[in-house]
Amino acid sequence: MQHKNLNAVHPIEIELGIPGAMTSAVKISLVVCSVIYFSIGIFGYLLFGDSINADILVNFDTSSSGAIAISPILNDIVRLSYALHLMLVFPLLNYSLRANIDELIFPKKELLATDTKRFMFLTLILLALSYIVAIAIPSVWYIYQFMGSTSNVCLAFIFPGAIALRSLSFFPSTF
């Protein structure tokens, strides 16, 4: 999952303004993510043991009772760690999406970081759409299947052809 946020590194570094600040931000982010992932894994295993499903979200219900006496506490800890993870990851994913949509819709306007109204408008629209999709789709597996099939087709067939067509327009004499 971490490799998907690499496209946000350079714009965030530019917005920080201080060259050394990016190193500190990356170190803190890696430590926080590592602690969250480690705690989710440990508490998930402690809570569900060997009967854990591939989709850990399916394991949660209101009557969940594990093999150990403190399973309601572990259930809450795992749920809170998922909520914390989503709160920290969503802004990073939304950052690159918002920047790309802004460039697509408003190519001639000034930078998004300088226009607060446009920034807030795009952020609220994307947040509302995210919530609507999250509520409307009953299972996360539909999203995984759609994204997996779409990504594979794009990587295998569409992107190579698009790159070849793009290079033909830049270097017509070489082909």
Distance of CA 89 to the CA centre of its chain: 5
| Amino acid in the structure at residue 74 | L
Q: 28-83 pLDDT, tens per residue?
A: 888 988 898 888 788 777 877 777 776 666 676 655 455 555 567 777 777 788 78
Tell me, what's the pLDDT at 7? Answer: 59
Of the listed ranges 1-15, 99-113, 131-145, 147-161, the least confidently predicted one is 1-15
The whole-angstrom separation of Cα 117 and Cα 105 is 15
Tell me, what's the pLDDT at 55? Answer: 65
Alpha-carbon torsion (59, 61, 66, 68), positive or negative = positive
Convert 44-61 to b/e letters by CB count within 10 Å (16 or more is b): bebbbeeeeeeebeebee
Q: Do 52 and 41 touch, CB atoms closer than 8 A? A: no
The whole-angstrom separation of Cα 120 and Cα 161 is 36
Tell me, what's the pLDDT at 129? Answer: 92
| Amino acid in the structure at residue 93 | L
Q: Is the model's pLDDT at 171 over the cut of 70?
A: no
| Amino acid in the structure at residue 166 | R
Tell me, what's the pLDDT at 2? Answer: 47
Share of the chain above pLDDT 90, in %: 7
- Interior angle at CA 101, CA 85 and CA 170, nearest 5: 120
Token representation of residue 154: 């794009």
Tell me, what's the pLDDT at 125? Answer: 94
Q: With cut-offs at 50, 70 and 90, classify the pLDDT of residue 164.
A: confident
